[in-house]
Structure 1
Amino acid sequence: MLLSGVLFGLFLGLASGEDGSAAWLRYAPLPHDSSHSSLPSSIITLNSTRGSPVYTAQQELRRGIQGIFGKTLNNGTSSNQHGAIIVGTAQAYQKSYGEFDDAKELEEDGYFLSSESNQVLIIGQNERGALYGSFDYLSRLAQGKLGAVSYVSNPHASIRWTNEWDNMDGSIERGYAGPSIFFENGFVTDNVTRVAEYARLLASIRINGMIVNNVNANATLLSPRNINGLGRLADAMRPYGVQLGISLNFASPQTFGGLSTFDPLDPAVDAWWANITNQIYARVPDMAGYLVKANSEGQPGPLTYNRTLAEGANMFARAAKPHGGIVMFRAFVYDNHINESNWKADRANAAVEFFQDLDGKFDDNVVVQIKYGPIDFQVREPVSPLFSTLRNTSTAIELQVTQEYLGQQTHLVYLAPLWKEILEFDMKADNRSSKVKDIISGERFRRPLGGSAGVVNVGTNTTWLGSHLSMSNLYAYGLLAWDPALGAEELLQDWIRLTFGHDKKVIETVTEMSMKSWPAYENYTGNLGIQTLTDILYTHFGPNPATMDNNGWGQWTRADKFSIGMDRTVKNGTGNAGQYPSEVAKVYESIETTPDNLLLWFHHVNYTHRLKSGKTVIQHFYDSHYEGAATAQDLVEQWNSLEGRIDVERFEHVLFRQKYQAGHALVWRDSINQFYYNLSEIKDEAGRVGNHPYRIEAEKMTLDGYRSYSVNPFHTASGAKAIVTTSNTTEGTATTKVTFESGRYDIAVNYYDLIGGKAQYELHINNKTIGSWKGDLEDKLGHAPSVYLDGHSATRITFRNITVGKGDVLKISGRPDGVEPAPIDYVSFLPPGVVD
């Protein structure tokens, strides 16, 4: 009964408008008269068990073909297979029809798809494979790829999981799309309809496992009520072949189970985990396994008892092995209280230092889950050297779909090109080809397990991730986990056709926007390998390079008045370059051979150091930040050009975010450039940094009910100051005469939008209202907001094509609300074509 209700809800839910809930599974009619006379008219399902993936596959095929072609598939029979779609497992097909040649090529979860004759064969190695083949076939049809095909598709790796960072109270760590779909008020949710919808999306991109709770796990998940709730989640996901997994808190035997210890070598602890694991598998017999974060960022672990990380991981492996479960053990282990005054200290070394002596000591059902770089999902990092260090241990790569350090779904950043660089990187272990993609599959070092884990963090927002365009990252993640040889642009264009349709201009424009988005974001946030210059002590969203030093977290730049960058050489630095195989280490050890885009990752240099381009480091910083911010402005105009070609709801949603990104990119540009200009005292050769001829600083206007306020960090305000109302109940005004020549201008107001209040503003010229707005971005964007005037809360609104006369009176009024004192930074009068 529950399953039927879930599936019925899916059909109803996706019949609604273009709100993003259908994602790439819209099954929209093709935009031309596509003849479907050659399409099969019936479907033969080789497993009619309700709730099985094959049963789901036939439902999906009916639904998709009805949506794309308006054609209803009849029920076929085994005796009349002509003109039919036959879907099922290889075993079931051979039982009904005899052998077929491609069966021996199928690997676990793989499928054979053929549409060469008057029938379509979708044959999976298992039921999940049959479902994957059905989604693949429907994807081709929905994209108008109607030609005959015949091929086998097998997964590159067996583990293709997502990691959801949902908390028991319903919040989501690093989630930007609303509350959890799995938990609320300390318990597993009762309504699993949206969980089933999500599992359907994941199955369509061939994801086979999902960790449903935060790696910073809460032990109460192991209560009887919640174990039963996990069963409900698994029941909702099972028709789509997505297996449930959970994160564990290492100290659970003590904090939840009542034992005096959580020592992994204590027999009572070992027995406790075996017992709780048996209870979970009794309710979820096909559970994928466990994910464990231990001895990292304050989380408990085996090092508490002077036990090794392998001994801790193997304790869980022993409990899960009788049930066929896998233990994913995160390599994100480091000391977050290291001393920057020690020139040799380096967080980037931590993973190898903690794990290198444990290679070969993990049980066969343990997989070490390694972040793609040595630090933490930065805009650019080198590949983690741990991939080539662990030769006798199964490994998986951890990628982050949710844009924690990369704009938090308010900035367009298409991540597949970044992931492709990592996956295709050759570690050259033992002077042999050792691409990361072949290491994580288990092929290179002949390991039994391996694959990918993607941090996704969907929420209740209809767009799933909070942004329509960010869904391209989820789509690309799943299919790259299946086949890392796929191209980033190829995946993107498939996603665009499935999401927005077949309009050539839409495809070309969104492709161009997306493909230049990662380089642009890197340019205006942190380049030359310096990491994302965000506030690592707060929300990881806006700019604050000062927090990158003088802290115990180890995400350092070592910037001073004269120089910048981490010396990670063996000769004179932390030795990180020496953790790589010899051929790669040789490249990184030398400034001459290190790529410029990783220069400051591996080398400490003067600001005046000349890059291979001939520019100095500091001038490259200045230029890149201006170039990246300019690209962000172009993205608005490119998206605007699609008006009328995309439905209004999604067009306006994306336009709002692109405008926000354009404004916030300027905040980033000015903040980073001003910080390093002040630090180095080296002028910008182009004379742009600190020179803003189109601005009127709010603190220099005539203030009534407002007062000047020194912003911290200083570089997140133009001129280091802003204005705030004199109290949280006093309305303020700021007035001045326009000194610019008469003409038409875009008038931009930079202000701060804090959480905890929704201040209201009005902009006037000669007492004529030009526009009004409210400080309510926390309700519209979903990013991690701020309670301070800083780079996270700084934003901009622009009123376009306004006629202004020299000497006119400009007035801004601000009405505070809650803790938000209607803060304003500056006003810009921008002539046509000027960005500021």
Structure 2
Amino acid sequence: MKRSLQVILLVLGTCFGFSASADDGYRLWLKYDLIKNEAQRKQYAGAIKTIVSGPASPIMQSATAELQLGLQGLLGKSVAIQPTASGSAGNIILKIDPTEKLANDEGYHLYKKGSDFVIAAKTDKGVLYGSFAFLRHIQTGQPLGELAETTSPKIQLRMLNHWDNTNGSIERGYAGASLWKWFELPENLDPRYMDYARANASIGINSTVVNNVNASARFLTPEYLPKVQALANVFRPYGIKVFMSINFAAPRILGGLGTSDPLDPKVRQWWADKTKEIYAAIPDFGGFLVKANSEGQPGPQDYGRNHADGANMLAEALAPFGGVVIWRAFVYKADPNGDRFKTAYEEFKPLDGTFKPNAMVQVKNGPIDFQPREPFSPLFGAMPKTPLAMEFQITQEYLGFSTNFVYLAPLFKECLDSDTYIKGKGSTVAKVVDGTLHRYDKTAMAGVANTGSDRNWTGHTMSQANWYAFGRLAWDHTLSSEAIAQEWTKMTLTQEPKALATITDLLLNSRENYVNFTTPLGLHHIMGESLHFGPQPWLAKSARPDWTAVYYHRAAADGIGFDRTKTGSNALAQYAPEVQAQWGDPDTCPLPYLLWFHHVAWDKKLSTGRTLWDELCHRYYEGTQSVAQMQKDWATVKPEVDPELFADVAGRLAAQRREALWWRDACVLYFQEFSKMPIPAPYQKPERTLEEIKKITATYQLR
């Protein structure tokens, strides 16, 4: 154990160690810098003497090494490790106790026992999570005398989905190239892989899908399996299982078969053999993630089969090894007269109860595609016999990429706290996903990762908070956006009270600000074609009708918005009657969802007292002004934030201000062509013309 710990500490000290120089963001929220408050530091240091760690599994070694590294940095002193508690006070006791009253094997119990501190759990994984929680307790300045925390994760699989490709690119990635250096693996293991595992373990993430859902069959070959195996070996000591996205046509592409029909015996045997090969290399392999019959990807429908046929074939192959197949519900037809909103429900609802026990269906938070605001997907609550996994997007595909400051915890919480009413009031999406509503045996929450090879991992420094928030909410969805924001800020930027309050407010308001200057009142999918960046509400032609903007906003002389009531597509009928009642009347529909469900006249008076047109203009102008206010507020924290991090955020806020003006001018001028109404006082008409704005957008479509 001692030798292994020395190796771990050497790596940690080299890559994630303490630094007195400018902070480049690499250490994320695991900054074990010396506590500035001397009195507080002395109090901690006086109370902590040794770490007591028993039998040495690799995960226990990781927990012990993390504690020693963290305490050394925070307290400015070395904390010894010993196998048994001494008679003196101040021991941190790592304790595996199967009798602990915890909800599951990953939970932990932190408490004070006399003058000692105990990190107890049923398993070594629980001890690992408890060790990070103990360090977080100190990092955020909480008194050790109040140490008393008992918690277990509410979701079983808390996972990141990486959309990384074999060539090192990342689909919808905005922070550099892939973390995985495929060409160097398996021989060369970048120390960053361990840092990635540590960061995930610190927030309770226990699974990762290493490749893109638009999957290359190459990942299943003898060339790539050793590479994935090498990553799994690095992640395992931090309690992280590896999953892979698979190409459904692999039996035909790799196996030389004439078909990939899931009911063909030869195809089923091919998958059984391939799965056995994977588990021989990676015994704790998690399973497969599948995107099928969506956006051109192959799938069972190519052979007249349904999604359950495809999922069940893979589930059978995985079952002997305890693996899981996660089948994405992101499917939609190219129907100019239809409503993409409805497709996932229509395809999957009839299949409820037909999936194998080790199959799950992964549903995006909303019915379209990770828009800045969406109503919750109607599938949540509609499949009581099939475990539904939540899919959030952490990477900011529709949220301004890496130039925009957008904290996503409020978006995640808005969905999780939404009431489906499927079993009466209180049937929240969170209760569907965590299994309590329908008693699912398996539960999962996935986040499409925002990491990349940029030194600070996420491009925009503040986007680190989204990775952090996803992990914390996957562990416990009852946590508030504010509590997570404060926690992250204290660990990452500053604990000075005024700056902490300012940054917390910036985080909490940032998402609503973004919605206001891009897609207010329920507008959606009006961003630039293909790239999904900037405004293009005039987009009328694309490879598919549902890839255009006019398909969604339906602006005309009589108004704007997509009628999804009985007089329109009737997508609203996919929700429970109570939800239909809330959203079905334009006079009572909450304004954030108004144009999601209703085509509204430009001169209709809203609950704000303004007409629809005036309210739309108000939100675009005030949303843009909010970015200028964000710049001013950020400037006030300069004395309390590391200069390099401060400058990074300040520069990106300046870019966001420019982009907000672009969005405002594009949308106000374009929609004015239909409303024929003046821009209301006190707002001034944009200085640029619509044609000038269109030229800006066009440059982003150049290759």
Fold conserved between structures, TM > 0.5? yes
- The whole-number CA distance in structure 1 between the counterparts of 2:455 and 2:215 is 26
2:51 maps to which of 34, 43, 57: 43
- The whole-number CA distance in structure 2 between the counterparts of 1:287 and 1:467 is 32
| 1:113-128 equivalence runs, <5 A | 113-128=110-125
**CA offset at residue 549 of structure 1?**
7.5
1:674-693: CA deviations, max 9, x gaps? 1111232211122645353x
Q: Is the contact made by 1:208 and 1:241 (CA closer than 8 Å) also made in structure 2?
A: yes
Q: Is 1:433 aligned to residue 343 of structure 2?
A: no
Q: Is the contact made by 1:61 and 1:134 (CA closer than 8 Å) also made in structure 2?
A: yes
1:317 maps to which of 315, 318, 341: 315
Q: Is 1:464 aligned to residue 457 of structure 2?
A: yes
**CA offset at residue 2 of structure 1?**
11
**CA offset at residue 151 of structure 1?**
2.8
Q: Is 1:655 aligned to residue 650 of structure 2?
A: yes
1:383 maps to which of 351, 354, 376: 376
Matched residue SS, 2:223: helix
2:699 maps to which of 783, 789, 793: 789
Q: Is 1:202 aligned to residue 227 of structure 2?
A: no
Q: Is the contact made by 2:16 and 2:195 (CA closer than 8 Å) also made in structure 1?
A: no
2:560 maps to which of 542, 564, 568: 564
* Aligned-partner residue type, residue 492 of structure 1: A
- The whole-number CA distance in structure 1 between the counterparts of 2:113 and 2:408 is 35
| 1:147-226 equivalence runs, <5 A | 147=144, 148-185=146-183, 190-226=188-224
Aligned residue in 2 for 1:22: 27
From the superposition, tell whether residues 244 and 3 of structure 1 become closer, same or farther in structure 2 (CA, over 3 Å): farther
Matched residue SS, 1:152: strand
**CA offset at residue 561 of structure 1?**
2.7
1:132 maps to which of 117, 129, 134: 129
* Aligned-partner residue type, residue 27 of structure 1: Y
**CA offset at residue 74 of structure 1?**
1.7
**CA offset at residue 90 of structure 1?**
1.6
- The whole-number CA distance in structure 1 between the counterparts of 2:85 and 2:157 is 38
- The whole-number CA distance in structure 2 between the counterparts of 1:347 and 1:188 is 42
- The whole-number CA distance in structure 2 between the counterparts of 1:60 and 1:165 is 29
- The whole-number CA distance in structure 1 between the counterparts of 2:211 and 2:118 is 38
1:98-117: CA deviations, max 9, x gaps? x6xxx133412111111353
Q: Is the contact made by 1:165 and 1:457 (CA closer than 8 Å) also made in structure 2?
A: no
Q: Is the contact made by 1:411 and 1:657 (CA closer than 8 Å) also made in structure 2?
A: yes
Report the aligned-residue RMSD. Answer: 2.1
- The whole-number CA distance in structure 2 between the counterparts of 1:68 and 1:456 is 29
- The whole-number CA distance in structure 1 between the counterparts of 2:520 and 2:210 is 34
**CA offset at residue 168 of structure 1?**
0.5
Q: Is the contact made by 2:178 and 2:453 (CA closer than 8 Å) also made in structure 1?
A: yes
Aligned residue in 1 for 2:677: 682
**CA offset at residue 423 of structure 1?**
0.5
Aligned residue in 1 for 2:622: 627
Q: Is the contact made by 2:275 and 2:318 (CA closer than 8 Å) also made in structure 1?
A: yes
Larger Rg belongs to: 1
Q: Is 1:54 aligned to residue 60 of structure 2?
A: yes
Matched residue SS, 2:233: helix
How many residue pairs get aligned? The number is 689
- The whole-number CA distance in structure 1 between the counterparts of 2:134 and 2:682 is 56
**CA offset at residue 393 of structure 1?**
0.4
Gapped regions of structure 1 (runs ≥ 5): 92-98, 698-713, 722-751, 753-785, 794-818, 820-836
* Aligned-partner residue type, residue 83 of structure 1: G
From the superposition, tell whether residues 8 and 716 of structure 1 become closer, same or farther in structure 2 (CA, over 3 Å): farther
Q: Is the contact made by 1:6 and 1:236 (CA closer than 8 Å) also made in structure 2?
A: no
Aligned residue in 2 for 1:497: 490
2:362 maps to which of 343, 366, 369: 369
**CA offset at residue 433 of structure 1?**
2.6
Aligned residue in 2 for 1:63: 69
Aligned residue in 1 for 2:340: 347
- The whole-number CA distance in structure 1 between the counterparts of 2:421 and 2:280 is 45
Q: Is the contact made by 2:513 and 2:626 (CA closer than 8 Å) also made in structure 1?
A: yes
Matched residue SS, 1:431: coil
- The whole-number CA distance in structure 1 between the counterparts of 2:234 and 2:572 is 47
| 1:420-569 equivalence runs, <5 A | 420-535=413-528, 537-547=529-539, 551-553=544-546, 556-569=552-565
* Aligned-partner residue type, residue 557 of structure 1: H
Q: Is 1:10 aligned to residue 6 of structure 2?
A: no
- The whole-number CA distance in structure 2 between the counterparts of 1:258 and 1:5 is 45
Higher helix share: 2
**Identity of aligned pairs, percent?**
38
Aligned residue in 2 for 1:732: none
- The whole-number CA distance in structure 1 between the counterparts of 2:228 and 2:6 is 19
From the superposition, tell whether residues 10 and 605 of structure 1 become closer, same or farther in structure 2 (CA, over 3 Å): same
**CA offset at residue 78 of structure 1?**
2.5
- The whole-number CA distance in structure 1 between the counterparts of 2:618 and 2:187 is 50
* Aligned-partner residue type, residue 69 of structure 2: R
- The whole-number CA distance in structure 2 between the counterparts of 1:677 and 1:617 is 12
From the superposition, tell whether residues 310 and 600 of structure 1 become closer, same or farther in structure 2 (CA, over 3 Å): same
- The whole-number CA distance in structure 2 between the counterparts of 1:79 and 1:523 is 57
From the superposition, tell whether residues 604 and 521 of structure 1 become closer, same or farther in structure 2 (CA, over 3 Å): same
Q: Is the contact made by 1:401 and 1:455 (CA closer than 8 Å) also made in structure 2?
A: yes
2:230 maps to which of 232, 242, 247: 232
1:522-541: CA deviations, max 9, x gaps? 00001111115312x22111
Matched residue SS, 2:168: coil
Matched residue SS, 1:120: strand
**CA offset at residue 196 of structure 1?**
1.5
Matched residue SS, 1:108: coil
* Aligned-partner residue type, residue 318 of structure 2: A
- The whole-number CA distance in structure 1 between the counterparts of 2:526 and 2:183 is 35
From the superposition, tell whether residues 108 and 468 of structure 1 become closer, same or farther in structure 2 (CA, over 3 Å): same
Q: Is the contact made by 2:587 and 2:606 (CA closer than 8 Å) also made in structure 1?
A: no
Q: Is 1:85 aligned to residue 82 of structure 2?
A: no
From the superposition, tell whether residues 127 and 441 of structure 1 become closer, same or farther in structure 2 (CA, over 3 Å): same
Q: Is the contact made by 1:549 and 1:556 (CA closer than 8 Å) also made in structure 2?
A: no
- The whole-number CA distance in structure 2 between the counterparts of 1:608 and 1:214 is 46
Matched residue SS, 2:665: helix
* Aligned-partner residue type, residue 291 of structure 2: K
Q: Is 1:673 aligned to residue 665 of structure 2?
A: no
Q: Is the contact made by 1:246 and 1:289 (CA closer than 8 Å) also made in structure 2?
A: yes
* Aligned-partner residue type, residue 539 of structure 1: L
- The whole-number CA distance in structure 2 between the counterparts of 1:292 and 1:270 is 16
**CA offset at residue 9 of structure 1?**
2.9
Aligned residue in 2 for 1:270: 268
**CA offset at residue 593 of structure 1?**
2.6
Higher strand share: 1
From the superposition, tell whether residues 4 and 271 of structure 1 become closer, same or farther in structure 2 (CA, over 3 Å): farther
- The whole-number CA distance in structure 2 between the counterparts of 1:169 and 1:88 is 44
**CA offset at residue 662 of structure 1?**
1.1
- The whole-number CA distance in structure 2 between the counterparts of 1:154 and 1:241 is 15
Aligned residue in 2 for 1:780: none
Gapped regions of structure 2 (runs ≥ 5): none
Q: Is the contact made by 2:215 and 2:245 (CA closer than 8 Å) also made in structure 1?
A: yes
Of the two structures, which has the highest relative contact order with CA contacts closer than 8 Å and spacing of 6 or more?
Answer: 2
- The whole-number CA distance in structure 1 between the counterparts of 2:340 and 2:69 is 51
**CA offset at residue 79 of structure 1?**
5.4
Q: Is the contact made by 2:362 and 2:391 (CA closer than 8 Å) also made in structure 1?
A: yes
Q: Is the contact made by 2:324 and 2:359 (CA closer than 8 Å) also made in structure 1?
A: yes
* Aligned-partner residue type, residue 644 of structure 2: E
* Aligned-partner residue type, residue 568 of structure 1: R
